[in-house]
Amino acid sequence: MGTIRARSDWIVEALATCLTKSTAQPRAQCLYEALRSWIQDGELASGSALPSSRRLARSLGLGRNTVLAATDRLVAEGFVETRQGAGLFVAELPAPPKALRDAPLPTAAMRLSRRGQRLLDFCATLSTGHCAFAPGVPALDQFPRERWQRLLRRHQHRAETRWFDYQSQGGLPALREALCDYLRLSRSVNCRPEQILITQGAQQGFELIARMLADPGDTAWIEEPGYGGAQACFTAAGLNIVPVAVDDDGLQPEAVPAGSPAPRLIYVTPSHQYPSGVTMPQARRLALLAAAERHGAWIVEDDYDSEFRYTTAPVASLQGLAVHTPVIYVGTFSKVLYPGLRLGYLVLPDALVDGFRRANARLHREGQYVVQSALAEFIVEGHFARHVARMRTCYRQRQAALRDALAPAVAQGLVLSQGQAGMHLVARLDSHATESQLVEAARAQGIVLSPLSRYYLQGPGQPGLVLGYAGADEVEIDRAGTWLSQAWLAARQASAQAGEAKAVSSS
Ligand SMILES: Cc1ncc(COP(=O)(O)O)c(C=O)c1O
């Protein structure tokens, strides 16, 4: 009933707009043409109820005879039918001629831009759902939904009217204050609330940084292997991407070939390199800061999941190493809460705050102040810290379950990353053939294996698997891990036999 009412409101409103637009035409003609074209285009589907002629006349400020002139003509032409006692309905019409239905749009109209086309190259690494071993997905089943719902309801109820308006403050002040305390204490970020800009996730932060600090053709250093989301953003902004090799200490500034153009941006995940999982030690951080200063570049510090450290104390942020660092700190609630929340933030040097705030309001529009207000209370009341602590324990257990399941393979030489932090492990493989064979076979088991080689921008990349363990429960991890262990052992045996057969045939 509500839908019918809503649809008839929409019809009345759309007809009112048509009437205002075409003042020269007789009113009845105008009504008739508008309704007929919506029916022919399928916008009003067969069987849809139309508002009564009385309601149309009253709402549109027309005489009833004017409305009847239009609807009677539609009935006479078969577009509309009258049902006794029920009113007017869109008639069942034959489908439009095949030629019209099947005619493809001209190819020129469908062509993507070169930039759009390149962007699609990065979409293959998108997360494919909530199952083992989708990387980057938190434990959605563990999120305190009821508490969150209560907070949302309370803040919706209390919402200030101005929160429903366009916003350009850089985010709700209460959230920026709550975040600031958290970032200073937990992440050693050097900041005041005014330096924080709330975004719709880290991705939007990268986008803003690329647009505001670099011009098309400027160079951005990116970790190799690295995060596809950042690679995609910088590519879409038309930057010249230079992949810089990562070793056990993270991005190696000295590995950039001499004579390469100076970077404008340097993107890093120093607390927990994505995807290799290494942590950048102090000496490398200082070398990176020195390189950024030498080149006049900005470092983009993506601190996406550093809350989850298991064996060592939290690593302080790169941004907080000194009072004035050329670092923009990027954070997200996607991993600590849930990705669909679409909330993240930038911590900007004072000189950039105003420009970024205004550009963000112009380009993306701010919003969700009710949600931001609920989140501020979630943090201030300690629910956030408790949730992080609970998830740390949960992820430690899920990682242990994965290690247990993979133990038979590890005993036979499968190499796993250390997993001191984060939400995924990396398993190293010895060939790309094994990588694609395992990825393919896993799909049939409902298991997502992300090939490590796909995180490289250049060359074939190292073969391996990125195994997200946070998003699936221990039973599922055990099932999927046991399968993977057996599949890896079988692949290893098959390749050993193939090697022996080759040796025999060539001897
Ligand atoms: C390295 C890295 N940075 C940032 C993000 C989070 O991005 P967003 O806040 O846009 O969800 C992810 C998510 O997968 C990630 O893996």
**What CATH number should be reported for the domain holding residue 481?**
3.90.1150.10
Ligand 1 mutation pick, 122, 179, 198, 203, max ligand atoms within 8 A of CB? 203
331 lines ligand 1 (CB under 6 A): no
Res. 1: pLDDT tops 60 = no
* Residues 294, 428 within the same domain: no
Q: What is the pLDDT of residue 43?
A: 84
Helix (H, G, I), strand (E, B) or coil at 328: strand
Based on the domain organization, do 40 and 73 belong to the same domain? yes
Measured CA to CA, the distance from residue 66 to residue 73 in angstroms comes to: 11
Measuring CA to CA, which residue among 10, 8, 99, 93 is closest to residue 50? 8
Which whole number is the average pLDDT over 31-42? 90
For the chain, the domain total comes to 3
Are 121 and 452 a contacting pair, CB within 8 Å? no
User: What is the distance in A from the centroid of ligand 1 to the CA of 308?
Assistant: 14
Dihedral angle over CA of 244, 245, 246, 249, nearest 10: -90
Residue 497 has pLDDT above 90, yes or no: no
365 phi and psi, to 5 degrees? 65, 135
Q: Which of 274, 307, 308, 330 to mutate to test the pocket of ligand 1 (most atoms within 8 A of CB)?
A: 274
Q: What pLDDT, on the 0 to 100 scale, is given for residue 3?
A: 59
- Closest protein CA for atom 14 of ligand 1: 136
User: Which of 386, 419, 437 lies at the terminal end of a domain, its last residue?
Assistant: 386
pLDDT tops 80 at residue 114: yes
Range of the domain at 262: 138-386
119 pLDDT band (50/70/90 cuts)?
Answer: confident
246 domain-assigned? yes
- Looking at residue 105, its pLDDT comes to 67
Residue 392 lies in a domain: no
332 close to ligand 1 (CB < 6 Angstrom):
yes
Q: Do 374 and 402 belong to one domain?
A: no
Tokens standing for residue 491? 């692949």
Question: What is the number of alpha carbons within 13 Å of residue 139 lying toward its C-beta?
Answer: 26
Instruction: Kindly give the pairing relationship between strand 219-224 and strand 240-247.
Output: parallel
The pLDDT tens digits of the residues spanning 160-216 come to 999 999 999 999 999 999 999 999 999 999 999 999 999 999 999 999 999 999 999
Domain termination residue (choose one: 367, 386, 405): 386
Q: In terms of domains, do 53 and 163 share one?
A: no
Q: What is the pLDDT of residues 218-232, one digit of tens each?
A: 999 999 999 999 999
The string of DSSP codes covering 432-446 is HHHHHHHHHHHHTTT
CA 73–ligand 1 middle distance (angstroms): 57
Q: Is 227 in the pocket of ligand 1 (CB under 6 A)?
A: yes
Q: 75 CA distance to ligand 1 centroid (A)? A: 56
Average pLDDT for the chain:
92
Query: And the tokens for 34?
Result: 């508008």
Task: Read off the DSSP letter of residue 79.
Answer: S
Residue 110 clears pLDDT 80, i.e. is over it: no
Q: Does ligand 1 lie within 6 Å of residue 271's CB atom? A: no
Q: Are residues 382 and 407 in the same domain?
A: no
Ligand 1 center–CA 203 separation, angstroms? 7
The CATH number of whichever domain residue 33 belongs to comes to 1.10.10.10
Sheet containing strand 344-347, edge to edge, reads: 196-199, 344-347, 327-332, 298-302, 263-268, 219-224, 240-247, 250-251
Among 89-98, 414-423, 427-436, 456-465, which stretch is predicted with the lowest mean pLDDT?
A: 89-98
DSSP H helices, 141-194, are 145-158, 173-187
Q: Are residues 357 and 278 in the same domain?
A: yes
If you measure from the C-alpha of residue 325 to the centroid of ligand 1, how many angstroms do you get, rounded to a whole number?
23
Task: Supply the pLDDT for residue 125.
Answer: 57
> Coil, strand or helix: which one is 247?
strand
Nearest 5°: CA angle at 13, between 11 and 18?
Answer: 90
Q: Which residue has the higher pLDDT, 338 or 97?
A: 338
325 lines ligand 1 (CB under 6 A): no
Closest among 394, 484, 455, 489 to 135, alpha carbons compared: 455
Give the closest residue (by CA) to ligand 1 atom 15. Answer: 304
Task: Judge whether 54 and 65 are in contact, CB under 8 Å.
Answer: no
What is the distance in A from the centroid of ligand 1 to the CA of 168? Answer: 24
Residue 445 lies in a domain: yes
Which atom number of ligand 1 is nearest to the Cα of residue 333?
9
> 323, 352, 386 — which closes off a domain?
386
How many A from CA of 334 to the centre of ligand 1? 7
Q: Are residues 304 and 445 in the same domain?
A: no
What does the pLDDT read at residue 492? 94
4 token code pair:
């019918």
pTM (predicted TM-score)? 0.84
Structure confidence at residue 259 as a pLDDT band (50, 70, 90): confident
Rounded Cα distance, 192 and 171, in Å: 14
Does a structural domain hold residue 96?
A: no
Asked if the structure places residue 118 within a domain, the reply is no
308, 161 contact by CB (below 8 A)? no
Are residues 324 and 283 both part of a single domain? yes
CA distance 306 to 317: 9
In a domain, 391, yes or no: no
Q: Check whether residue 250 and residue 371 sit in a common domain.
A: yes
Q: In this structure, is residue 220 part of a structural domain?
A: yes
The reply to whether 117 falls in a domain is no
> DSSP assignment of 278-318, as one string?
----HHHHHHHHHHHHHHT-EEEEE-SSTT-BSSSPPPPPS
Q: Which atom of ligand 1 is nearest to the CA of 201?
A: 9
Burial of 350 (0-12, 13-18, 19+ CB in 10 A): exposed
Range name among 316-325, 396-405, 472-481, 485-494 with the lowest pLDDT average: 316-325
382 and 299 part of one domain: yes
The answer, yes or no, to whether any atom of ligand 1 lies below 6 A from the CB of 274, is yes
The DSSP secondary-structure symbol of 421 reads B
Same domain, 354 and 411: no
Q: Does 366 lie in the same domain as 285?
A: yes
Cα–Cα distance, 333 to 338 (Å, whole number): 7
CATH of the domain at 300: 3.40.640.10
Query: In the structure, what pLDDT confidence band is assigned to residue 24 with cuts at 50, 70 and 90?
Result: confident
